[in-house]
């Protein structure tokens, strides 16, 4: 016997017993996105490796350690997308999408890929709901994006979240801060091998390193808020005033820098205050220089991404039940071969025109087995069509839970189908 081929470590199948939960969250995300004026964008699952090296940053853990990169048959370096913003920015520039009305608001629900240690709520293939806004420089846009995310969590009923915000300044602020970090880390103690190499190229990344040595060394490091220019201070102060007016609680965390190089000014994350270990649920911020850095026009922008797996884990931990949809509203059983075509026709009309979840036998089961199958499917109603029903001119719709019955007049062919459809629809609405 051949061995069974199993899924790779760090990925999983989303089975019907769970997929409806994903669909529920996706529906909430899509509906709320429409309310806030966001349009959906779908980008390729793989891109040129250079795209992520230039945007995410070749000194980041994502690029150095986590990307799935390979050579295709044309010897081109290809990478499975590790995050969403770079692909969206590439698409906006390549397709000149920014040529229309600004601000441009886009959202996506996609799969992403990073080679990480699998753990609760974190996989090597994972899914995110994200959004990007192109055009506005105002901190009002930052507040609106945060309000959007906060509203999304409220719609799902998720509680115990804390919003952390920070400003990491503009290019000039970061240059001054970089000099201070290099001076500090030169005498702060041991760093991991990667961060020792990063020290003089990109000391920002040391602050985001998960290695215990680097975390200890970073404990007393200077904070970016001490190096902000007046423009960045004013931008951050205005953001806080907007959040205060919107009654959105937040914590200013001067050590929040995010893990990707393209961020500027505002950065933020929503964290689960009761979980242990990886507790970030959503992260985002501004990236005002990224479109220009990638060959497009200078276009201020900001965005966020929410981990779907983390959302589902939190909802489970908080006992937030997602109602399972009805798999089968009505099962139509036939008592003999000559009634199969009538059963098929009625099922078609109920499914297509009545929008009713309808099942019937396609496996040549006898009547008793069909009824048992209807019960296994959890059918709300059962309709049996046979010789007795034909002779009497009535079919019987049975409520499988209450055992109540309702007579359905049977008419030849199309007239029967229309009459049965109308009666069944009315009964299901009760």
* Helix (H), strand (E), coil (C) string for 39-103: EECCCCCEEEHHHHHHHHHCCCHHHHHHCCEEECCCCCEEEECCCCHHHHHHHHHHCCHHHCCCC
99 with 77, same domain: the answer is yes
Note whether residue 399 is domain-resident. yes
pLDDT of residue 209: 77
263 with 399, same domain: the answer is no
| Cα-based distances in Å from 106 to 23, 25, 246, 295, 386 | 20, 18, 23, 20, 55
pLDDT of residue 207: 79
- State the Cα–Cα distance between residues 161 and 308, nearest whole angstrom: 15
265 with 383, same domain: the answer is no
* Residue reference for tokens 């007393």: 220
DSSP 22: H
Among the listed residues 60, 42, 326, the one whose alpha carbon sits nearest the alpha carbon of residue 207: 60
Q: Give the CATH number, domain containing residue 415.
A: 3.40.50.800
12-21, 210-219, 320-329: range with highest mean pLDDT: 12-21
406 with 265, same domain: the answer is no
Residues near 365 by beta carbon (within 8 Å), at least 6 away in sequence: 373
Average pLDDT on 59-82 reads: 87
Note whether residue 281 is domain-resident. yes
> Does the structure show a pLDDT above 70 at 421?
no
Report how far apart the first and last C-alpha atoms of the chain are (Å, whole number).
Answer: 53
Average pLDDT on 43-59 reads: 87
> Does the structure show a pLDDT above 60 at 215?
yes
pLDDT of residue 407: 80
Calculate the average pLDDT of the chain.
87
pLDDT of residue 396: 82
Q: How many domains does the chain fold into?
A: 2
Contact present, 191 and 217 (Cβ < 8 Å): yes
| Cα-based distances in Å from 82 to 157, 260, 296 | 28, 11, 22
The two tokens of residue 7 are 């899924």
52 with 111, same domain: the answer is yes
Q: How many residues does the chain have?
A: 430
Range of the domain at 160: 16-170+229-317
Note whether residue 252 is domain-resident. yes
- State the Cα–Cα distance between residues 277 and 274, nearest whole angstrom: 10
> Does the structure show a pLDDT above 90 at 374?
yes
Higher pLDDT, 273 or 132: 132
The model's pLDDT over 217-271, given as tens digits with 9 standing for 90+, comes to 888 888 888 999 999 999 999 999 999 999 999 999 988 776 667 889 999 999 9
Average pLDDT on 25-38 reads: 97
129 with 84, same domain: the answer is yes
DSSP 227: G
Percentage of the chain with pLDDT > 70?
Answer: 92
pLDDT of residue 190: 79
Note whether residue 197 is domain-resident. no
43 with 147, same domain: the answer is yes
Note whether residue 213 is domain-resident. no
* Residue reference for tokens 């049975």: 398
Note whether residue 424 is domain-resident. yes
Which strands form 104-113's sheet, in the order they lie side by side? 39-40, 104-113, 125-134, 301-307, 280-286, 264-272, 161-167, 251-252
Q: Give the CATH number, domain containing residue 110.
A: 3.30.930.10
* 3-state helix, strand and coil shares in percent for the chain, rounded to the nearest 5: 40, 20, 35
Note whether residue 44 is domain-resident. yes
Over the range 195-220, which residues count as b (16 or more CB within 10 Å of their CB) and which as e? beebbeebbbbbbbbeeeebeebbee
Contact present, 205 and 148 (Cβ < 8 Å): no
286 with 240, same domain: the answer is yes
pLDDT of residue 39: 97
152 with 76, same domain: the answer is yes
Note whether residue 209 is domain-resident. no
The model's pLDDT over 262-307, given as tens digits with 9 standing for 90+, comes to 889 999 999 998 766 558 899 999 999 999 999 999 999 999 999 9
Contact present, 78 and 90 (Cβ < 8 Å): no
Where residue 375 falls among pLDDT bands split at 50, 70, 90?
very high
User: What global pTM score does this model have?
Assistant: 0.86
pLDDT of residue 416: 53
- State the Cα–Cα distance between residues 152 and 360, nearest whole angstrom: 39
> Does the structure show a pLDDT above 80 at 426?
no
Strands (E) located in 314-357: 330-334
Where residue 423 falls among pLDDT bands split at 50, 70, 90?
low
Beta strand 358-360 with 330-334 is parallel
52 with 142, same domain: the answer is yes
3-7, 105-109, 118-122: range with highest mean pLDDT: 105-109
377 with 298, same domain: the answer is no
What's the longest Cα–Cα distance across the chain?
96
Residues near 418 by beta carbon (within 8 Å), at least 6 away in sequence: 349
| Cα-based distances in Å from 426 to 95, 238, 400, 423 | 50, 56, 17, 5
The model's pLDDT over 138-195, given as tens digits with 9 standing for 90+, comes to 999 999 999 999 999 999 999 999 999 999 999 899 889 888 888 888 887 778 877 8
148 with 285, same domain: the answer is yes
- State the Cα–Cα distance between residues 71 and 69, nearest whole angstrom: 7
- State the Cα–Cα distance between residues 310 and 82, nearest whole angstrom: 17
């Amino acid at each position: 016997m051949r061995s069974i081929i199993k899924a790779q470590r760090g990925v999983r199948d989303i089975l019907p017993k769970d997929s409806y939960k994903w669909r529920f969250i996706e529906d909430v995300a899509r509906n709320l996105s429409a309310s806030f004026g966001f349009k959906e964008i779908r980008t390729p699952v793989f891109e040129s490796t250079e795209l992520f090296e230039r945007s995410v940053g070749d000194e980041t853990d994502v690029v150095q350690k986590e990307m799935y990169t390979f050579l295709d048959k044309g010897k081109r370096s290809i990478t499975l997308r590790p995050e969403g913003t770079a692909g969206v920015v590439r698409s906006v520039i390549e397709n000149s999408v920014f040529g229309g009305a600004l601000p441009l608001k886009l959202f996506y629900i996609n799969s992403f890929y990073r080679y990480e240690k699998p753990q609760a709520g974190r996989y090597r293939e994972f899914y995110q709901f994200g959004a990007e806004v192109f055009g506005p420089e105002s901190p009002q846009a930052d507040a609106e994006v945060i309000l959007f995310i906060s509203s999304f969590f409220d719609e799902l009923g998720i509680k115990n979240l804390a919003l952390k915000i920070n400003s990491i300044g503009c290019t000039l602020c970061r240059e001054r801060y970089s000099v201070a970090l290099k001076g500090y880390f030169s005498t702060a103690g041991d760093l991991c091998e990667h961060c020792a190499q990063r020290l003089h190229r990109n000391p920002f990344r040391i602050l985001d390193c998960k290695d215990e040595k680097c975390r200890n060394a970073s404990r007393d490091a200077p904070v970016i808020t001490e190096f902000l220019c007046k423009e960045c201070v004013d931008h951050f102060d205005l953001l806080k005033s907007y959040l205060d007016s919107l009654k959105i609680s937040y914590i200013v965390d001067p050590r929040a820098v995010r893990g990707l190089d393209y961020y500027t000014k505002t950065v933020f994350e929503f964290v689960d205050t009761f979980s242990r270990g990886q507790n970030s649920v959503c992260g985002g911020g501004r990236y005002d220089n990224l479109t220009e850095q990638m060959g497009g026009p200078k276009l201020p922008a900001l965005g966020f991404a929410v981990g779907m797996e983390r959302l589902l884990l939190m909802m489970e931990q908080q006992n937030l039940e997602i109602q399972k949809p009805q798999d089968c509203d009505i099962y139509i059983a036939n008592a003999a071969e000559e009634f199969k075509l009538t059963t098929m026709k009625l099922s078609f009309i109920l499914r297509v025109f009545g929008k009713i979840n309808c099942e019937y036998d396609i496996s040549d089961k006898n009547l008793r087995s069909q009824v048992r199958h209807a019960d296994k499917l959890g059918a709300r109603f059962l309709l049996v069509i046979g010789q007795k029903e034909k002779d009497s001119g009535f079919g019987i719709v049975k409520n499988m839970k209450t055992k109540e019955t309702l007579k359905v007049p049977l008419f030849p062919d199309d007239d029967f189908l229309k009459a049965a459809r109308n009666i069944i629809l009315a009964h299901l609405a009760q």
